[in-house]
Structure 1
Amino acid sequence: MALGVAVLMVVACADEAATGTPAETPAQGNGEVTRTATPTATAAPGGESTGGQTTPRTLGTSAGTPTTAKDPAFVALDGASAHFGQIDRAAYRIEMPDAWNGELVLYAHGFAGFGTEVSVESPPRALRQYLVTNGYAWAASSYSENGYVPGIGADDTLALKRHFVEEFGEPERTYIAGASMGGNVVALALENQATEYDGGLTLCGALGGIEQIDYLASWVAVAEYTSGLTFPIGEPGANLAPVFLTELPRILGAPDAPTERGRQFASVMNLLTGGPRPFFVEGFREQYIVNFGLVMIDPERKLLVNRAATNADTVYEIGEGLGMTAAELNAGVRRYASDAAARNAETHPDAVPTTGRISVPLLTLHNTGDLFVPISMEQSYRAKVEAAGRGDLLVQRAIRAGGHCKFSEPELTAAFADLVAWVKDGTKPKGEDLTGDLMNAGLEFTNPLRAGDPGGVE
């Protein structure tokens, strides 16, 4: 289990590092500091009134794990004041510009492992600086629990908004932004708490909801089938670390030097996650072992998200000339059935696929070579939004880079500025169609083009 936690923490740390958030030293100075210990503003079921405000139903499911909050103290940027404290079990940070423009950005962080200490993650450095410089206040919650908990993230982010209003007054406009699992938080919030936000921004967002965990189940199932191994998943006390760290690499080879079986695995995952595109290889290399982390920590599939996940209806494809047909693959791959009690929209709204029923503008950025939260999540969400009749509210942009949440300062700040113009003035920004061939995706929005970019393809 320790190895599984370590592998998953690689992803958690990568989320923070990739979005450019520096490790901040706790501090008591550099601006006004407020500490509060107020009851949580958890949303009430059925839209009941709590404290004079009508709130949507609770979206999160607590695992019941006791947690402690890491000290959220931080140093404010020049021209701003730092405010921090705790709401129930969730720590928070608020950075208030001296010349506040009356608008607020709620930032939802990504997956942070399964530890019992929760901590606040500030927005990416470039975005944070842009917000403060341009007069936007921002606020971020640690969430009251770790794990894959987008519903808890949405609930605690809404509670933080309520606290902000009590302290500083109602913002003229409120935006919600999130990275990785935080993108799932944003989708849940916009679909279920529509009156609370004026617009949303996702960065490498897990927009599919539980489809993100379905994808990780597929990663495991396809690796098992192509390798010819039998993983002891579901067996009490199973230790999967030797399988994933020793046996599997021996059979599949390294990402850069695959065996025939390794080429089969890579081909299936390429086609499952969006097809041929720039920087797939770099992203595949980064996630090759890391994507087994969830099943390593939970080999018996007892966690809610694992019980809810399924690949029962997933149709896999494979390239030609690799010694295996799609028919053979689909007939032979292990299928994981979901627990109907877990994958239940009424009792666990954060353990089901998202709906696409948004009612305010949403702009998304996604790396072409992200193999932790693949760009196919964008394709899936586009289909849902279109089916819900809300297609005009979604703008998507690809960024040509390998890895998870790898965005430059110009890419981040342009996206936020364009979202604001859309919300305030109705100026819908440019986006692109990510549903087809992705070889030329992101050429207009990647700034700068990364080293090794193949350029446009005729």
Structure 2
Amino acid sequence: MRVRALFALAATVLALAVPLAGAAHADRTPADPTPVSRTPGDQPLPGYTIQNPPLPPAQVGGKPSLVKQGVHNHSGYIIEVPPKWNGKLALYAHGYRGQGFVLTVEPPPFGLRQRLLDQGYAWAASSYYRNGYDVRAGVLSTRDLAELFADEVGRPKQRLIVGVSMGGHVIGRSIEQFPRYYDGALPMCGVLGDHELFDYLLDYNLVAQDLAGVREYPVTDEYATVTVPKIMENLGLTGLTPGGPDTANERGKQFRSIAVNRTGGERPGDEESFAYWKAFPFTLAAPPVPGATLAEEPDQLSTNLFTWYTPNRPVNVNASVQRVRARNLPARLSNRLSQVPRINGRPGIPVLSLHNLGDMFVPFSMEQVYASEVARQHRSRFLVQRAIRAVEHCEFSAAEAGTAWDDLARWVDRGRRPAGDVVTKPGVVKRPDYGCRFSDRAAYDAGAGTRRLFPACP
């Protein structure tokens, strides 16, 4: 999930294809990428190429930054250091790049690159050594890059890690995998609920099939072109648009309510968000790929055996929906650093997260899952979460991301925990003004992105 301009990102995320069916496969990639081949570390792994065009230095106080680029442990990288380095390093963890074989690197988005440099921070970003939904590659490549930075520039006195989408999964696992290595974390639109993202995508398709009276699991090559249009028609969703007439029939309304509840519960803008995202989760279903790894087919971890859907009227969905076991239960239960690893909710450093309230791709419920797990581990003092009133995936303004960064940096430096939103109390989340506190009013006033799908904040 690459972050560039907002609507470029929207097009990018459509490349994700998480199949919902297939035979159980092992997570076959070794924990250390080096044994995969005898390829030298300054080259990509076999089959991959790296696109890392020269990045022009930024101007910082009228002087150019120092930019270093290259290949390290099969990953492309960029390092940028301001003229007056404060001794601190921000590492950027990118999102999902698709299943292709071109590795790419990018600077921190949302204006953070210049903000970091202006504040004296150096930053570094890795392509990771593999594409796909490979969180392990992100965890290891980011750590490797931090060590390379120490060799090439100097050992930083502080390391913070920032990331988006799948990069949030990378962050959540990194700070548990290396608990004393990082000093602060800023996951944005992150997959902090790990496997439960894929449970939700499974739910979306199976519940829609059940309510529409059209069953196709495992899916076939005709699912997107033949079956999904039938589902949409049978539920009255074909003509549903954000802000338009409510065309959903009785079963369509039940499906919408179930989808809203699975993505964070009743909240401002929920019906408009559903209308915006209604078709997208269907596009993530694809026929199985024999021999696929977890990174290629993460849905082999997903299950709905114990999911209780609400509302359960007029159709008793909990009795009629198709129930699916996790096809790779050992991988789901394992706590090792797999390609799609668990996050246990054990941060030991300040974590400040941002999430779009209307996101139904990597839904707001990811924050609720993480908050609950952190609370069970008695570590809520380390976590601050903020809801942003926008519908797209990773739709943040420079002001929202920059304020979050500044607050995290002060928290790390001074130990003062900043303010956040309560995410786990339904009565709070459903309030009409929920998400207003940290959302950029100027972005709303300008009509940026999907902001106007929400009512104006008081």
TM-score category, normalised to shorter length: 0.7 to 0.9
**Equivalent in the alignment of 2:124:** 139
**1:61 counterpart residue number:** none
**Relative contact order, higher structure (CA 8 A, sep 6+):** 2
Aligned to 1:71: 52
Q: Which residue of structure 2 lines up, in the alignment, with residue 188 of structure 1? A: 173
Cα deviation for residue 428 of structure 1 reads 0.8
State the partner residue of 1:247. Answer: 230
1:337 to 303, 320, 325: 325
Residue 96 of structure 2 corresponds to residue 111 of structure 1: yes
2:170 is matched by which residue type in structure 1? V
Q: Give the conservation status (yes or no) of the 8 Å contact 1:240–1:299.
A: no
Q: AA paired with 1:241?
A: A
Alignment of 1:383 with 2:372, yes or no, is yes
2:305 partner amino acid: A
| Residue type at the aligned position of 1:331 | A
1:296 corresponds to 2:286: yes
Cα distance in 2, alignment partners of residues 332 and 432 from structure 1: 37
Do the aligned partners of 1:106 and 1:176 also contact (CA within 8 Å) in 2? yes
TM-score, normalising length: structure 1: 0.81
Deviation of 1:278 (Å): 2.0
Once residues 359 and 371 of structure 1 are traced to their aligned partners in structure 2, the CA distance between those partners, rounded to angstroms, is 29
CA distance in 2, matches of 1:289, 1:401: 18
For 2:310 and 2:406, the matched residues in 1 are separated by: 39
Name the CA shift for 1:350/1:389 in 2 (closer, same or farther; >3 Å): farther
Where 1:395 maps in the other structure, the secondary structure is strand
Match of 1:164, SS state, is: helix
Partners in 1 of 2:290 and 2:212 — Cα distance? 21
What displacement does 1:227 show? 1.5
What value does the CA root-mean-square deviation take over the aligned residues? Answer: 2.6
CA contact 1:233–1:300 (8 Å) conserved in 2: no
Quick one: distance in 1 between partners of 2:179 and 2:256?
39
SS at match of 1:83: strand
Report the 3-state secondary structure (helix = DSSP H, G, I; strand = E; otherwise coil) of the residue aligned with 1:402.
Answer: coil
Structure 2 residue 185 is the aligned partner of structure 1 residue 206: no
Range that drifts further, 254-263 or 127-136 = 254-263
Contact in 1 for aligned 2:50/2:102 (Cα 8 Å)? yes
> Which residue pairs with 2:424 in the alignment?
435
- 1:142-291 alignment runs, 5 A limit: 142-233=127-218, 238-243=221-226, 246-252=229-235, 253-254=237-238, 255-256=240-241, 257-291=247-281
Gap change, CA 1:333 and 1:121, over 3 Å in 2: farther
Q: Does the Cα contact within 8 Å between 1:72 and 1:92 map onto a contact in 2?
A: no
Provide the residue aligned with 1:392 in structure 2. 381
Deviations 1:355-406 (A, max 9, x none): 0011101000111101011111111111111111111000011111112111
Q: Distance in 2 between matches of 1:297 and 1:204?
A: 27
**2:269 partner amino acid:** F
CA distance in 2, matches of 1:244, 1:353: 33
Please, which runs of 5 or more residues in structure 2 have no aligned partner?
10-29, 35-44, 242-246, 445-450
Deviation track 1:46-91 (CA, whole Å, cap 9, x = no partner) reads xxxx9xxxxxxxxxxxxx9832212343222223222211113211
Query: For residues 20 and 422 of structure 1, do their structure 2 counterparts lie closer, same or farther at Cα, with a shift above 3 Å needed?
Result: farther
- 1:313 Cα shift? 1.3
User: Residue type matched to 1:190 in 2?
Assistant: I
Alignment check: 8 A CA contact 1:233 1:299 kept: no
Matched AA of 1:246: P
Uncovered stretches (5+) of structure 1, i.e. residues with no partner: 1-11, 22-41, 51-63
Compared CA separation, residues 299 and 263, structure 1 to 2 (3 A): farther
- Does structure 2 conserve the Cα–Cα contact (< 8 Å) formed by 1:270 and 1:276? yes
1:108 touches 1:177 (CA, 8 Å); kept in 2? Answer: yes
User: Hey, what's the Cα distance between the residues in 2 that align with 1:346 and 1:407?
Assistant: 32
Q: Distance in 1 between matches of 2:378 and 2:196?
A: 21
Q: Which residue of 1 aligns with 2:87?
A: 102
Residue among 309, 316, 334 paired with 2:309: 316
- Higher mean alpha-carbon deviation, 253-262 vs 185-194, is at 253-262
**Shift, 1:111, TM fit:** 1.1
CA–CA distance in structure 1, aligned partners of residues 67 and 228 of structure 2: 44
CA distance in 1, matches of 2:290, 2:128: 26
Partner residue, 2:27 = none
The corresponding residue for 2:394 is 405
Deviation at 1:180, TM superposition (A): 0.7
User: What is the alpha-carbon distance in structure 1 between the residues aligned to residue 7 and residue 187 of structure 2?
Assistant: 12
Give the direction of change, closer, same or farther, for the CA distance of 1:301–1:404 in structure 2 (3 Å limit): farther
Contact 1:108–1:140 (CA under 8 A) maintained in structure 2: yes
